[in-house]
Amino acid sequence: MKTKTKPRLSDASLEVLKRRYLLKDDNGKIIEKPEGLFKRVATHVAQAEKKYSKGPGAKKTSDQFYEMISSLDFLPNSPTLMNAGRELGQLSACFVLPVGDNMGDIFGTIKNTALIHQSGGGTGFSFSRLREKGARVKSTSGVASGPISFMTAFNAATETVKQGGTRRGANMGMLRIDHPDIMDFITCKEDNGAFNNFNISVAITEKFMKAVEKDKDYDLISPLTGKKTGSLNAREVFDIIVKQAWKNGEPGIVFIDRMNKDNPTPKIGEIESTNPCGEQPLLPYESCNLGSINLSNFVEDGEVDWRRLKETTRWAVRFLDDVIDMNKYPIDEISEMTRANRKIGLGVMGFADMLVQLEIPYNTDEAVSAAEEVMKFIQEEGRKMSEELAKERGIFPNWKDSIYGDSKQRVRNATVTTIAPTGSISMIADASSGVEPLFAVSFIKNVMDKDELVMTNPIFLSIAKRMGFYSEELMKKIAKSGTLEGIDEVPDEVKRVFVVAHDVSPLWHLKIQAAIQKYTDNAVSKTVNFGHSATKKDVAEVYKLAYDLGCKGVTIYRDGSREEQVLNIGKVNKKGVQEEKIDPTKRVVRQRARVTYGRTIQIMTGCGKLYVTVNEDEEGRPFELFSAMGKAGGCAASQAEAISRMVSTSLRSGIEPKIIIKHLKSIACHRPFGFGPDRITSCSDAIARALESFISPPTLGIVRDQSIVKEQEQLEIKIEEVSTQTVKPEIKRESYIGGICRECGGPIEYEGGCMVCRSCGYSECG
Measured in whole angstroms, the distance separating CA 386 from the mean position of its chain's CA atoms is: 30
* Buried residues in 371-409 as b, exposed as e (16+ CB within 10 A): bbebbebbbebbbbbbbbbbeebebbebbebbebeeeee
Cβ-Cβ contacts under 8 Å for 312 (sequence gap 6 or more): 68, 73, 74, 293, 298
Measured in whole angstroms, the distance separating CA 351 from the mean position of its chain's CA atoms is: 20
Q: Of the listed 94, 277, 669, 765, which one is catalytic? A: 277
Q: Is 669 a catalytic site residue? A: no
Rounded to whole angstroms, the Cα distance separating 106 from 129 reads: 11
Q: State which amino acid sits at residue 370.
A: A
How many other C-beta atoms are found inside a 10 Å radius of the C-beta of residue 213? 13
Q: State which amino acid sits at residue 684.
A: S
Cβ-Cβ contacts under 8 Å for 14 (sequence gap 6 or more): 34
Rounded to whole angstroms, the Cα distance separating 135 from 146 reads: 8
Q: State which amino acid sits at residue 529.
A: N
Q: Is 277 a catalytic site residue? A: yes
Reduce the DSSP state of residue 408 to 3 states and report it: coil
Q: Where are the alpha helices (DSSP H) in 448-566?
A: 458-467, 472-479, 492-497, 506-517, 536-548
| Residue 597 host element (H or E) | strand 596-605
Q: Where are the alpha helices (DSSP H) in 342-364?
A: 351-357
Q: Of the listed 132, 159, 279, 734, which one is catalytic? A: 279
Q: Where are the alpha helices (DSSP H) in 279-331?
A: 306-326
Q: Is 275 a catalytic site residue? A: yes
Rounded to whole angstroms, the Cα distance separating 156 from 712 reads: 10
Q: Of the listed 155, 197, 248, 275, which one is catalytic? A: 275
Reduce the DSSP state of residue 210 to 3 states and report it: helix
* Buried residues in 569-585 as b, exposed as e (16+ CB within 10 A): eeeeeeeeeeeeeeeee
How many other C-beta atoms are found inside a 10 Å radius of the C-beta of residue 675? 15
Catalytically active residues are 275, 277, 279
